Amino acid sequence: MPESDLPERLATGSDQVSLSLLATSDVHTALLAYDYFSDRPVAAPSLARAATLITRLRHSRPGAILLDNGDFLQGTPLADAHIGKNTDAPHPAITAMTHLGYDAVALGNHEFNPAPDDVRAVLKQAQFPLLCANLKAETGPDQPFAGLWQDRVMLELATTDGAGRPAHVKLGLFGVAPPQVMQWDGMRLAGRLVARDMVDAAREAAALLVAEGADIVVALAHSGISDAPRVDNMENAASHIAALPDVDALVAGHVHRVFPGPQLTGQAGVDTNAGTVNGIPVVMPGAAASHLGLIDLVLERHAGRWRVCAHASHALLTANTPEDPKLVDLLAPAHARTLDTTRKIVATLDAPTHSYFAMAQDDRSVRIMAEAMLAHVTRELARGPLAHLPVLAAASPLKCGGRAGSGNYTDVAAGPMAMRAIADLQAFDNHLSLLEITGAELVEWLEMSASLYNQLLPDTPDQLLFDRDTPAYNREAIYGLSYEIDLSHPPRYNNEGRIVSPTAQRVHDVHFGGAPLDPSRRFLLATSEYRAGGGGHYPGSGLDRTVPIAPVALRDILSRHVRHTRGRVSPDIPAWRFRRLPRTFARFDTGAGAANHPLPGDLALELLGEGGDGFLSFRLDLGTQSG
């Protein structure tokens, strides 16, 4: 963004002071404009681009406060190369945030993905306050999280008013993160962390800050903006936190959306033009450093406290801003270390593997991971007490567009396979988990998965197979079952896992071993720990349903499997397809890289052309598909 395009600072009267808040969220270690999966520089957002904007805004807004709203610790191979056995090297996210002078940083749910001791080793490097009011670390000599973060912090700011006279402002900050982290990473966090409701914790933290003398209270809420009714322990509670009487401004996140912006138009309490939620200024700066949040405040004295009398909120795009050369140079050793790791050859792949059509058919990029899990679990349980239970595997397309954009697709060439390709196929560094589940619960699991698609009607042109921002990583396929998905029916579940159409049934003809699935039969379902713990709200998941199995990372399972099989997939392991629907067509968007691969022979596809934002659009004929 050119400096001339930056928003003007709000005017300040003689008895007023100005305060500017700069905010990032969900950076996920997108520190440099480099794609470690394809091993090339890219014209993509990065924290190094945001750093240039930060410098410009600090010049026009002296004393601006720099904040981060969580999910900064992992998300790219740059992080993976500096966590775990590699913690002898400084973590690049901490290095970058220290260099940029962050004033406070909230924790997000993904800070708890690595092993607890590894999290501790990294967070101990932080030289800025880490905040989270609703996730309480258990105390004790062997507790890894003890003492790493605090509920809240007070910053004493020395500034001047509009007449140039000295003024002092007490800025109170607190953070909250989704309590669902105890489900998503519960196997590592049980006995080490206690979670409570975000709104209750926010109310308490804000009131305490006011009692301690805060003039202004800012919430760092790693949570989405939603007009859903308030329920205990809700995941996206930013709107309810914004309604608390002691909160003056808020940074939202977690859901990778942008605010102010058109994405949230029409929600109750949301004013996209004013940049407010329930009357207070709010920013949500996207993900992967796509935006930098800016909240400008004008304060005046009222009843002995500085209070907000004017405000403006902005989400500033970073993509067209050059990277900060100082930060790029500072991260050069971490970048080189990462390339040494990602370029290591670990296997050979027999055929190209990509995810461009993974939402339209049983897909090789998903199937390889599922077959790797099946092989591993079958070996592990071969002589144990659970060997009599049949094993299935659930997997999903982890890189398949969505809010991460048209470049977010797996695309691995045949031939020597580097470690970066393993990470491309298994984008999240999750561990294996095993659930005991019945046939009836498997059908509900599949219904939840099928709910991510739109309902399709005959003779209706240009209806969408799925919305572009659909989280494809929540579209599970179960390998070992054969079944059809009928999209002429409405979805049975909503995205929160609640039944919205009790009579709806999209999943049909479910067979196991060539026979109709027995609803009462027991199975073992191999999946990720995220899914097993409740991620995606799948029925039949939960820590109480897990079966003990030796800890192992999914990337390690995949790497060993490809080494032994060269990535060949088995036609004998059944999966899914769409049910034929006469005179029914649907359009979907996928990455432009799809043009470099042959179209799937078992789908009736027509290329429609460019879909905008780097996507290609295809039309799928569900009446003549041959799969």
CA angle 595, 598, 600 (to 5 degrees): 115
From CA 389, how far away is CA 486, in angstroms rounded? 29
Among candidate residues 489, 440, 449, 492, the one with its CA nearest the CA of residue 472: 449
pLDDT over 80 (residue 512): yes
29 within 8 A of 79, measured Cβ to Cβ = yes
Q: 426, 382, 384, 377: which is closest to 525 by C-alpha?
A: 377
For residue 602, the model assigns a pLDDT of 87
For the record, the structure tokens of 409 come out as 């697709």
**pLDDT tens track for 256-280:** 999 999 988 889 999 999 999 999 9
- Position 87 scores a pLDDT of 58
pLDDT at 266: 83
pLDDT tens profile 333-342: 999 999 999 9
CA 563-567-569 angle, 5° bins: 135
**Residue that wins the pLDDT comparison between 304 and 570:** 570
User: Is 546's pLDDT higher than 80?
Assistant: yes
Read off the tokens for 395.
């997997």
Give the burial string for 534-566 (b: 16+ CB within 10 Å, else e).
bbbbbbbbebebbbebeeeebbbbbbbbbeebe
Q: Are 346 and 563 in contact (CB under 8 A)?
A: yes
| Amino acid symbol at 171 | L
Q: Which two tokens stand for residue 557?
A: 């399972």
Q: Under DSSP, is residue 212 helix (H, G, I), strand (E, B) or coil?
A: coil
Report CA Rg, the chain. Answer: 25
CA 182 vs CA 73, 107, 282: distances in Å: 18, 14, 27
Count the neighbouring beta carbons within 10 Å of the beta carbon of residue 476: 24
Q: Which CATH class is domain 345-621?
A: alpha beta
Share of the chain above pLDDT 90, in %: 87
Say yes or no to pLDDT of 182 above 80.
yes
In this prediction, residue 19 has a pLDDT band, given cuts at 50, 70 and 90, of very high
Q: What is the pLDDT of residues 194-210, one digit of tens each?
A: 999 999 999 999 999 99
**Residue 3: pLDDT over 60:** no
Average pLDDT over residues 562-580: 95
- Asked if the bond preceding 260 is cis, omega within 30° of 0, the reply is yes
Spatial neighbors of 310 by CB under 8 A, at least 6 apart, are 10, 297, 298
Continuous segment of H or E residues that includes residue 508: strand 507-512
Q: What does the alpha-carbon distance between residue 185 and residue 367 come to, in Å, rounded to a whole number?
A: 24
Strands 65-68 and 16-24: parallel
| Distance, CA of 107 to CA of 198 (rounded, Å) | 13
Query: Does residue 616 register a pLDDT over 80?
Result: yes
SS (H, E, C) 323-368: CCHHHHHHCHHHHHHHHHHHCCEEEEECCCEECCCCCCCCCHHHHH
Crossing angle of helices 332-342 and 92-100, rounded to 10°: 160
pLDDT of residue 6: 76
Question: Quick one: average pLDDT of 204-231?
Answer: 97
Q: Is the distance from CB of 111 to CB of 167 less than 8 angstroms?
A: no
| Residue 219 near residue 247, CB atoms below 8 Å | yes
Q: Which CATH architecture has domain 17-338?
A: 4-Layer Sandwich (3.60)
pLDDT score recorded for residue 52: 98
Residues 467 and 578: beta-carbon distance below 8 Å: no
Mean pLDDT of 374-392: 94
Q: Which residue has the higher pLDDT, 86 or 217?
A: 217
pLDDT of residue 365: 96
SS in 3 state form for 216-280? Answer: EEEEEECCCCCCCCCCCCCCCCHHHHHCCCCCCEEECCCCCCEECCHHHCCCCCEECCCCEECCE
- Helix/strand/coil for 566: coil
- What are phi and psi for residue 463, nearest 5 degrees? -75, 145
Share of the chain above pLDDT 70, in %: 98
For 111-157, how does the pLDDT look when each residue is reduced to its tens digit (9 = 90+)? 999 999 999 999 999 999 999 999 999 998 899 999 999 999 999 99
In angstroms, rounded to a whole number, what is the distance separating the alpha carbons of residues 591 and 526? 29
Q: What is the DSSP letter of 387?
A: T
Q: CB neighbours of 223 closer than 8 A, spacing ≥ 6?
A: 176, 177, 178, 198, 235, 236, 237, 238, 241, 252, 253, 254
Name the pLDDT band for 14 (thresholds 50, 70, 90). Answer: confident
Cβ contacts of residue 556 below 8 Å, gap of 6+?
none
Cβ atoms < 10 Å from Cβ of 492: 22
Contacting residues for 367 by C-beta, under 8 A, at least 6 apart: 395, 479, 569, 573, 575
Q: What is the mean pLDDT of the chain?
A: 94
Q: How far apart are CA 163 and CA 143, in angstroms?
A: 52
CA 317 to chain centre: 19
Closest CA to 447 of 413, 494, 408: 494
Residue 96, burial from CB neighbour count under 10 angstroms (0-12, 13-18, 19+): buried
Phi-psi region of 140 (alpha: psi -120 to 50; beta: other; left: phi over 0): left
> Structural domain boundaries of the chain?
17-338, 345-621
**Banded model confidence at residue 495, pLDDT cuts 50, 70, 90:** confident
Token pair for residue 428? 């999240």
pLDDT reported for residue 4 = 54
The DSSP bridge pattern shows strands 276-277 and 391-395 to be: unpaired
